Structure 1
Amino acid sequence: MSGFNSATTPPQPVSAKALGIPEITSLVGRHLSKTDLANCAVVAHSWFHVFTPLVWKSILAGRPSTRPYRDKNSYNGSHRGAIQHRLSLSKYGALIRTLTIIPATGRAAASDLDLIFECPVIDSLIQLTVNLEGGASEVVGSIVRRNQNTLRLLKLVFQLEKRLRPPGWLGEQIFEFPRIAPCLQSLFLEYWCMSRQELVLILKGCPSLKLLSFGNISILDRQDETDEQASADDTRHSGAQPGNRDFTGEIDEAFQHQSIEMFRMCSRLCPILEYLPKVKLLEFYRFDRQIKGDELVRFCDSMRTHCPDLQDVWAYGFECSMLPPILDSLPRLVHFRGSSDLPTVLSMLDHALTLETADLSDYTERTFFPLQFLESCPRLRSFRTGHSLTTMDEVQHSLRRGWACQSTLEELRLSIFKLSPVLIEVIMRDLNAERAPDSRQQRAARQRAARGDVTSEEYEHNKEQQLQDAIRLLSPTQQDFRQQFASFLTTLDKLERLNFGTGWYSLSPRSSPL
C-alpha cells in the first residue's frame, strides 16, 4: 500500500495462539511464580493445556505449611485429605519432571509422601532429590526403578540423629539399584552403606554417569576394610555386619567406569579410584577430622596408579593436612580451589609449569607467597587470593623480576597490604577500567532516591570531589607505586578482570600504554 504509515497504524495484539508454541510458553513460564502459573491455567481452556504442565513440572513435597492448599508447587498432607491428593497425582503426576522430597517435619504427613513414592504415573522424572529420616530405602528404590529410563540427576540423603543410631551403625542399607539407568548423569548419595559388589553394580548400571558424589558413605567388603571404614563419629566397628548383608560375592575387579569425570567426597575418603580411570576432578568438602596416615597413603597410591587424567582439585572446609600428599601424588595440577596454608601452597608451586587457575580466596586464612605464583607459573590464567601481608614494596620488586604469566593472565584478584581504596580507584582509572555492577551500591542509590536526599547527579559530583581531594593527599611513595603498577598492568595483553579488594573491574584486553 502506497499510503501505509507505520506511525499511524495502531499496534496489533499478539495472538494468544503464540502460547501454544512450547518454546514461547517455556520462556514466559520462567518469569512466573507457581501461583501465577496456576492462575494462568484457569483463565481459559486453551491456557489450561499450556500452563498446567509448567505448574506440575517441578514439585516440592513434604514442606510444612499452615496456609490453605493453593500452591501446587508444594504437596503437604495437612490439607484436603489423601483422597484428593491421590486423584491429583493420578491425573497430573505424569507431568512432573523435577521432584524434591524433604523430611516430613512439623505438620507434613508422611502418608502423603508414600502416595508420591507409590504413584505409578510418576514415571518420567528427570531430577529426583529425596531427604530421608527413616528406613525407607525400598520405597525409594521403587520410584528410582520406575523412572530409571529418564532420570538424569538423583540425590538421596539419609538423615538419622546421632542419638537414634544403633551401635555400629554405618549408614542406611542401599536399596536394589536399577540394573540400568541409561540417562543418569549425576548421582549424589549421603549416609548410605553398601558392599563393594553393590557399588560395582551401581556404577555398571549408570553408563552415562559424569558426576559421582559420596557423603559419609561406608563401602564394605572385607573385615579389615570394615574396621577401617569407621562411622562418622570415628567409633570402631564391633565386627558384626549390618543386617544380613552378603559380602562374599565375586567382585568384578577389572571393571572401570569410562564416563565419570568428577568425584566428590564428603567427610571421609572413599578408596574406589580403581573404578574411575577417567576422573579429571576431585572435590573434597566438610572434612572435619584428620585422616589416618595409612588410609591417606592408600588413597594417594590409588590416585597415582589409577587416575592418569586427574588434574583438578577442589577442597572446601576440611582438614588441610591431607592436601599436600594428595597434590604431591598428582601427575599434573591444572586447576585448584580451596585452602591455602603454607604446606599446600608449596605443594601447588611444585606444579607451577602446569597450573592454569588457582582460587585461594578463602577469607578465613592468609594466602602465602601469592607473588610466587605470578612469577613462577607460565600458564596461569586466573589467580585469586584471600588475605595476605603482601606489601606494595614487595609488589614493586616482583614487577622488576617479571611475571611468568604475563602473556596468559586473564583474571587477577590480589590482596595488597595497606593498599587504600583511593589508590585502587586511581589505578583503575589509569587503566580505563570499568567497575562491575555492585548490588550494594545499586541498593544504596535506590534508598537515596527514595529518601529524596540528593539527586544522582549531585551524589556523583560530591563523590568525585571527595575523590579528587583524596588523590591530592597521596604520598610520593603511593604515586610512584601507582605509576609503576598501572604501567605494568597495561602490558598484560589478555588481562580482562581485576580486583584488589574493592570489587571487580573489567578492562579491555588490549589497553593502550600510558
Structure 2
Amino acid sequence: MSAPASSALPPQPETAKALGIPEITSLVGQHLSKGELASCALVAHAWFHVFTPILWKSIQAGHPSPYNHRNQDRDHVDPDTTGSRSTLSKNGTFMRILTIIPESPDTEISDLDVISDCPAVDSLVQLTITLERGQQTSVDNLVRRNKNTLRLLKLVLHVEKRLRPAGWLGERMFEFPRMAPCLQSLYLEFWCMSKQELVLILKGCPTLKLLSLGNVHIQDQTDNTGAQLIKQDADGDTVETFQHQSIETYRMCSSLCLILEHLPKLKLLEFYRFDRQIKEEDLQQFCTSMRTHCPDLQDVWAYGFECSMLPAVLDSLPRLINYRGSSDLPTVLSMLDHALTLEDANLSDYTERTFLPLQFLESCPRLRSFWTGHSLTTMDEVLHSIRRGWACQSTLKELRLSIFKLSPILIEAIMRQLNATRSLDLKQQQQARLRVVCGDVRLEDYERQKEQQLLDAIRTLAPAQENFRQQLVAFLATLDKLERLNFGTGWYVFR
C-alpha cells in the first residue's frame, strides 16, 4: 500500500516563527561561497538603488477607519511604526505622489504629522490630503516644503456631519504659500475664505490650469468672521481688478462660487453634484459675469445634475463646442441654439432619456462625436431623418445612438454588412486570449454553434427590419469619417 501524499511533505512545526535578516543571511551563507556571496551583495545593492525610488514613488498613508476602509487594498505606508521614521527620512525624497486618507479616531500619532515633520519629503508632484480639524498647520508645513515641485494639490477637509455645528460652512483655510510656481491643478473642498484670500491663492499659482472648488464658501466683506480683509497687495493689484491669465478649467461641486471676473481665459466649466436648485439672484449674477468676463468659454460638463439652471448657463455662452452630462428638454433646446458651433455632445451621463437626438444630427454641421442615452427614437424616425440628410455627414467620427426596439440581431446584421468589428474592452480581450491559450475544444464548438444560430436569426429578419437595415447601411456607408459606432450593444470600429 502506497503512503498517502501528505506523508511526503516535511513535518510542520506546531509553532512557526518568522526569520529575521540575520537568520536568513546565515542560512544563505551555508550554501554559497564567499565569491558568490560577494556577487549577491553587489546585485542586491544595485537592485536597492534601482527599485527603492520606484517603490516609494507613489505612497498612500493613513490609518484604516470605517470612512476609508474601501482604500485599504492600496499601497500603504505607516510612518508611525518602529524604525520607519528613519526609513522615511532616507527614502522620503523619492516620493512623488502622496495620498493621505482620513485617520481613525484612536490614532495616537497622525501619519500626516509624521510626514509633515520629515524634511526629506520635499519633491512631491501630486499631493492629496483628506484632513481633520486642527491639522492645518501640518498641511501648511508640507505644502510649503514642496511648493516648488507640486503640480497637483487636493485638500479636502473631513468633518463628520454629526459633528458639524448648525450653519457650518467649512473651516478657515491655512495661509496658502504666496508662490507655488509649478502648480497646475488645485482642488479645495469644505473650506471658507474671503475673496481677498482666494485672490492671493490665485496670484501665488501663476501656471494654474484647473481650479476646483467643492462646498467652498467665499465670504463677503460684510461677513462677520473676523478675517483680515486685504484691499490691495504688494503689487498694487486690487481684488476687483485681478485676473488670472492661465486658468482654463473651473470646476464647481454642489454650489456656485461667483469668481468668474478673475478668470478671463476660461474655456471649460464643470459642474458636479448640483442636486438642489440655485437661488435665482445667484444664477443671474453668475450668467452676467460669464457673458462679461469669459469671452473664450466654449465647453460645459455637468454631471449628477439638477438641470433647471443649465438652460440659463448655456444661453449665456458666446458659443458651445463641447457638452457632456445631464440634459432635459429645455437644456437640449438651449444646446441646439448653438448648433452651428457644437462639435462634441455626450448626453449619455446621468440621464434617463435623451431628447431630440436626430435633431442634433440634422442641424449641427460641425458635429464630430455624438452620444445619446436611452431614447424613444423609432426606426421609422431614423429613416425619415436620413432621407432629410444629416448636416454632420462630412464631419461625424463617433456615434452612439439609441433606437427604440432595435434588436441585437438586427444591430449585428447592420455591423456585419458595414464590415465593422466589435471593439473589446480589457476584460473581453483577456477572455479572448485565454480561449486561444487554453484551446478548449468544447468552447470552440460552443462558439461555432453560437455563430450558426446568429446567422440563422439574420436570415429570418422580418421584411421591415431588412428594409431598415438596407437603407441605414447605405446611408452610413456615405459617412466617410465615421470611425466608431454604437447602437446600444457595444462599440464597433471600421476596418
TM-score band, normalised by shorter chain: 0.7 to 0.9
Amino acid at match of 2:155: L
Amino acid at match of 1:357: D
Return closer, same or farther for 1:422/1:183 CA change in 2, 3 Å cut-off: same
Q: Is 1:462–2:464 an aligned residue pair? A: no
Amino acid at match of 1:116: I
Count of residue pairs the alignment pairs up: 444
Q: CA deviation at 1:54?
A: 1.0
CA separation in 2, counterparts of 1:318 and 1:455? 49
1:235 maps to what in 2? Answer: none
Amino acid at match of 1:222: Q
For residues 249-292 of structure 1, give each alpha carbon's deviation from its aligned partner in whole angstroms, at most 9, with x where no partner exists: 44432111010010000010010001100010000001121101
2:203 maps to what in 1? Answer: 204
Amino acid at match of 2:100: I
Structure 1 spans left out of the alignment, 5+ residues: 1-39, 66-70, 227-239, 509-514
What are the equivalent positions in structure 2 for 1:72-471 lying under 5 Å apart?
73-76=75-78, 79-80=81-82, 84-105=83-104, 109-223=108-222, 226=223, 240-241=224-225, 244-247=226-229, 249-250=231-232, 251-362=238-349, 364-439=351-426, 441=428, 454-471=441-458
Amino acid at match of 1:60: Q
Q: CA deviation at 1:345?
A: 0.4
CA separation in 1, counterparts of 2:363 and 2:220? 45
Greater displacement, 442-451 / 410-419: 442-451
Question: Contact 1:77/1:108 (CA < 8 Å) preserved in 2?
Answer: no
Greater displacement, 477-486 / 132-141: 132-141
Greater displacement, 396-405 / 250-259: 250-259
Q: CA deviation at 1:362?
A: 2.7
CA separation in 2, counterparts of 1:42 and 1:115? 33
Return closer, same or farther for 1:176/1:373 CA change in 2, 3 Å cut-off: same
Structure 2 spans left out of the alignment, 5+ residues: 1-39, 66-72, 233-237
CA separation in 2, counterparts of 1:334 and 1:379? 9
CA separation in 2, counterparts of 1:43 and 1:159? 46
Question: Contact 2:80/2:114 (CA < 8 Å) preserved in 1?
Answer: no
Q: CA deviation at 1:141?
A: 1.0
Amino acid at match of 2:196: Q
Q: CA deviation at 1:221?
A: 2.7
CA separation in 2, counterparts of 1:421 and 1:338? 26
Q: CA deviation at 1:363?
A: 5.9
SS of the residue 2:258 aligns to: coil
Return closer, same or farther for 1:72/1:465 CA change in 2, 3 Å cut-off: closer
CA separation in 2, counterparts of 1:135 and 1:319? 35
Return closer, same or farther for 1:455/1:363 CA change in 2, 3 Å cut-off: farther
Amino acid at match of 1:191: F
CA separation in 1, counterparts of 2:80 and 2:242? 48
1:56 maps to what in 2? Answer: 56
Amino acid at match of 2:101: I
Q: TM-score normalised to the size of structure 1?
A: 0.82
SS of the residue 1:282 aligns to: strand
CA separation in 1, counterparts of 2:74 and 2:415? 50
Return closer, same or farther for 1:92/1:41 CA change in 2, 3 Å cut-off: farther
Greater displacement, 51-60 / 432-441: 432-441
For residues 431-479 of structure 1, give each alpha carbon's deviation from its aligned partner in whole angstroms, at most 9, with x where no partner exists: 1001101455556668989999754432232112101211122111000
Amino acid at match of 2:290: M
Sequence identity percentage: 70
Greater displacement, 323-332 / 47-56: 47-56
Question: Contact 1:104/1:110 (CA < 8 Å) preserved in 2?
Answer: no
SS of the residue 1:74 aligns to: coil
Question: Contact 1:385/1:413 (CA < 8 Å) preserved in 2?
Answer: yes
Q: CA deviation at 1:245?
A: 1.4
Amino acid at match of 2:344: T
Question: Contact 1:41/1:49 (CA < 8 Å) preserved in 2?
Answer: no
Please, what is the CA RMSD of the aligned residues?
A: 2.4
Question: Contact 1:42/1:48 (CA < 8 Å) preserved in 2?
Answer: no
Question: Contact 2:409/2:458 (CA < 8 Å) preserved in 1?
Answer: yes
Greater displacement, 463-472 / 179-188: 463-472
SS of the residue 2:110 aligns to: helix
